[in-house]
């Protein structure tokens, strides 16, 4: 603010006259929501401190007849009254006016000489500017007031007061104003301001109960409440239309339901206090945006209902996603797709996005830091989205919201445990789930710090080994313990896991070499044990188990070879009445049922049986030869004995009896002989019983 003095002096340049007055002031800003204006009273006490000067021509006296004071450009009803009640003349110097202020020249109504003081009050009103107007920075209505307050005078001699109705909530930025409530009014006062030229209070007062309200149904039993300044229906119509058009496109692109239950969108300039056009407060389900009718701004803040600290910790990710999806939603509704600028500055001067924080730099650098952070965040997200596609980026968001790991096993991805949703998880999902080839380079260039680049180097080595495990494992997904280490980026002791996995997969492959030719089905429990292994010890135990199965398969292979081998006569005799197929099938069944020891036992029994076949065949052959020899000797003995017991009658006519038998003589019944093994030598005459009869005669009675 500039202070100009109007003086009537003799031989004193105007520039020197500034130091000739002592100015003390108290300026009060009173909010009048009914009149929709700010009433300002600035009381000045002006003392002439320019002493008289004696010269060769006499005494020169210096006096002041008036003072020019700055007033805001939008001020109306400007007037001045001296402390004795006299109205003072006020005129304006339009040549020195600008868009912010003009100068009111107040005539004292008398000359003020050395050590004399005059006191007067300049009063005016600051009417509310129309919404979205550029001619005034003042906004006042029954629900809202925003304006600036300042004072003019000497250091430590200026007081600024702000008075607001008690039903307003007030935010004061720019100075440590003390609050005093009196007679239903909130009074904020800053006294004895040290540097009035640098002092400025930004005041925002709000009474949300006086806002106009409108409820918009957005589907799925979700409603959004629009709260706007009384009379500004144009802004409310604009927001409602955006909820019914752009918001639909935004939700479809993101692919996740809108979860806020009681979202409110408030017309406000509160974010302007911090240099923003709008913001989203997730814990309050509240969006505050400026009065501007800006589609991208509304959609950007609406997207923060999804993209906020609950999604990712890093601000650059959520801001980049918000800008990307709001621009894509505008494109889907027919507007031209907007693009971020390429990040500027040398690589040395760039602020890595993981360190983006405007509050750790001097205040005069914050705007530039924020401008770079917002643009570069969007740039990185745009590059990634262009590479993998909008749908794939939405799948990444789905995985984060669903809380699943970037390193899934077989089937559905498990919950990601032990890690926060941060830039590491974002990078994992981009690379592992969506196979981005550009993500790591973008992160190294714009996102991570030098120390984090070292971690990325180690991660790159580990990822190569992990990919080898995936390839070697084939249908066997990496163990859950390894996947958890990858998820939490615990790379210190991960090599032990890789070594144990290599040994386990080698044992599995060796088992396959034994079992596949036999068409043996390896139990599914082995794969499940591998994929469910949490510790290195689990893998060591599994390796031993696989080796046990390998031994069982080898034993079964030997058994099948025995079954298929050619056999000699003696061995075939040893295998008579012996069937080893059930034993072989039992061994195979035990193997496939997960009992390798039982399989080994059955197979070894089969092998032992075939090994004993030669011996059994030899024994059986010897037994059979001895039996035949005994039989032959018995037959020979019977023949000899028969010949020794023949009677003379039998010997006299043996041939006639034989001939008679041949020509039809009827003999009595001849009993059959018993087998040789149970044969006993009988009386020969009794066995045959062939007593001849006379022709035509009656048969004799049989004897015993």
Neighbours of 363 (CB within 10 A): 8
User: Stretch 520-546: mean pLDDT, rounded?
Assistant: 97
| E strands in 137-192 | 139-141, 144-149, 158-165, 169-173, 178-182, 185-190
Q: Is 261 a residue whose pLDDT tops 70?
A: yes
Question: In whole angstroms, what is the distance from residue 292 CA to residue 610 CA?
Answer: 96
| E strands in 84-116 | 87-88, 90-92, 101-112
Q: Is 670 a residue whose pLDDT tops 70?
A: no
pLDDT in tens, 540-572: 999 999 999 999 999 999 999 999 999 888 888
pLDDT in tens, 605-637: 999 999 998 898 888 888 877 777 777 788 777
Q: Is 678 a residue whose pLDDT tops 50?
A: no
pLDDT above 70: percentage of residues in the chain: 88
In the predicted model, what is the mean pLDDT of the chain?
Answer: 87
Structure confidence at residue 394 as a pLDDT band (50, 70, 90): very high
Q: Is 650 a residue whose pLDDT tops 60?
A: no
pLDDT above 90: percentage of residues in the chain: 68
Closest CA relative to residue 501, chosen from 545, 470, 463? 470
pLDDT for the residue numbered 7: 27
Give 661-676 as a 3 state SS string.
HHCCCCCCCCCCCCCH
Alpha helices, H only, 310-422? 315-332, 366-388, 390-402
CATH number of 4-207: 2.60.40.3650
pLDDT for the residue numbered 693: 41
Sign of CA dihedral 81, 82, 86, 91: negative
Closest CA relative to residue 486, chosen from 411, 410, 407? 407
Neighbours of 213 (CB within 10 A): 11
Question: In whole angstroms, what is the distance from residue 310 CA to residue 144 CA?
Answer: 31
User: Stretch 675-692: mean pLDDT, rounded?
Assistant: 37
CATH number of 211-306: 1.10.390.10
Both tokens of 699, joined, read 């048969």
Question: In whole angstroms, what is the distance from residue 294 CA to residue 296 CA?
Answer: 6
pLDDT in tens, 18-27: 478 999 999 9
Q: What does DSSP say about strands 212-219 and 222-228: parallel, antiparallel, or unpaired?
A: antiparallel
Question: In whole angstroms, what is the distance from residue 427 CA to residue 254 CA?
Answer: 19
pLDDT for the residue numbered 645: 61
Structure confidence at residue 154 as a pLDDT band (50, 70, 90): very high
pLDDT for the residue numbered 571: 86
Neighbours of 512 (CB within 10 A): 15
pTM (2 decimals)? 0.77
Q: Give the residue, 618 or 99, on which the prediction is more confident.
A: 618
Q: Is 8 a residue whose pLDDT tops 70?
A: no
Q: Give the residue, 645 or 225, on which the prediction is more confident.
A: 225
Neighbours of 26 (CB within 10 A): 19
Closest CA relative to residue 240, chosen from 262, 222, 218, 255? 218
Q: Give the residue, 57 or 640, on which the prediction is more confident.
A: 57
pLDDT for the residue numbered 647: 52
Q: What does DSSP say about strands 263-267 and 286-289: parallel, antiparallel, or unpaired?
A: parallel
Where in the chain are the domains? 4-207, 211-306
């Amino acid at each position: 603010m500039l202070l100009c003095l109007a003086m009537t002096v003799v031989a004193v340049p105007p520039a020197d006259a500034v130091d000739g007055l002592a100015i003390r002031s108290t300026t009060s800003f009173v909010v009048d929501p009914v009149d929709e204006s700010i009433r300002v009273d600035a009381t000045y006490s002006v003392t002439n401190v320019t002493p008289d000067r004696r010269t060769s021509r006499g005494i020169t006296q210096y006096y002041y007849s008036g003072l020019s004071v700055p007033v805001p450009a939008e001020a109306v009803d400007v007037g001045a009254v001296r402390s004795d009640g006299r109205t003072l003349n006020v005129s304006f110097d339009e040549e020195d006016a600008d868009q912010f202020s003009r100068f009111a020249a107040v005539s004292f109504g008398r000359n003020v000489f050395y050590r004399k003081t005059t006191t007067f009050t300049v009063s005016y009103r600051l009417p509310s500017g129309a919404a979205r107007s550029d001619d005034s920075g003042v906004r006042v209505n029954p629900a809202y007031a925003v304006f600036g307050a300042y004072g003019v005078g000497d250091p430590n001699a200026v007081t600024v007061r702000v008075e607001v109705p008690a039903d307003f909530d007030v935010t004061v930025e720019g100075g440590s104003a003390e609050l005093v409530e009196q007679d239903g009014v909130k009074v904020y006062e800053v006294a004895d301001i040290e540097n009035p030229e640098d002092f400025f209070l930004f005041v925002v007062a709000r009474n949300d109960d006086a806002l106009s309200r409108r409820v918009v149904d957005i589907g799925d039993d979700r409603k959004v409440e629009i709260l706007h300044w009384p009379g500004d229906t144009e802004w409310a119509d604009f927001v409602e239309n955006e909820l019914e058009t752009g918001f639909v496109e935004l939700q479809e692109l993101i692919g996740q339901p809108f979860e806020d239950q009681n979202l409110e969108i408030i017309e406000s300039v509160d974010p302007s206090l911090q240099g923003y056009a709008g913001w989203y407060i997730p814990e309050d389900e509240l969006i505050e945006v400026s009065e501007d009718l800006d589609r991208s701004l509304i959609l950007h803040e609406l997207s923060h209902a999804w993209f906020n600290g609950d999604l990712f910790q890093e601000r650059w990710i959520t801001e980049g996603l918000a800008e990307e999806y709001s621009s894509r939603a505008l494109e889907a509704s027919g507007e031209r797709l907007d693009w971020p600028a390429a990040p500027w500055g040398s690589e040395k001067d760039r602020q890595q996005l993981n360190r983006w924080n405007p509050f750790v730099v001097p205040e005069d650098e914050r705007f530039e830091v924020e401008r770079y952070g917002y643009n570069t965040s969007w740039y990185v997200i745009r590059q990634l989205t262009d590479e993998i596609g909008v749908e794939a980026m939405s799948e990444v968001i789905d995985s984060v919201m669903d809380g699943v790991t970037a390193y899934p096993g077989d089937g559905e991805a498990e919950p990601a445990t032990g890690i926060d949703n941060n830039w590491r998880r974002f990078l994992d999902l981009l690379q592992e789930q969506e196979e981005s080839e550009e993500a790591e380079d973008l992160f190294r260039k714009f996102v991570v710090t030098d120390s984090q680049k070292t971690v990325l180097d180690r991660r790159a080595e580990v990822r190569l080994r992990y990919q080898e495990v995936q390839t070697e494992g084939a249908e066997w997904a990496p163990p859950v313990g390894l996947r958890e280490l990858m998820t939490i980026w615990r790379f210190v002791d991960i090599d032990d896991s890789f070594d144990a996995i290599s040994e386990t997969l080698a044992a599995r492959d060796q088992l396959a070499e034994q079992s596949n030719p036999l068409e043996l089905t390896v139990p599914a429990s082995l794969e499940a044990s591998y994929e469910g292994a949490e510790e290195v010890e689990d893998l060591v135990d599994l390796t031993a188990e696989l080796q046990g199965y390998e031994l069982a398969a080898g034993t079964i292979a030997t058994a099948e070879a025995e079954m298929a081998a050619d056999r000699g006569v003696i061995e075939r005799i040893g295998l008579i009445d012996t069937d080893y197929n059930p034993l072989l099938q039992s061994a195979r069944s035990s193997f496939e049922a997960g009992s390798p020891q039982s399989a080994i036992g059955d197979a070894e029994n089969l092998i032992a049986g075939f090994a004993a076949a030669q011996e059994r065949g030899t024994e059986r052959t010897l037994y059979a030869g001895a039996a035949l020899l005994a039989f032959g000797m018995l037959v020979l003995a019977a023949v000899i004995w028969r010949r020794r017991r023949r009677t003379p009658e039998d010997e006299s006519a043996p041939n006639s009896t034989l001939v008679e038998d041949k020509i039809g003589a009827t003999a009595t019944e001849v009993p059959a002989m018993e087998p040789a093994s149970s044969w006993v030598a009988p009386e020969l005459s009794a066995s045959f019983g062939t007593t001849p009869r006379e022709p035509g005669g009656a048969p004799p009675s049989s004897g015993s």
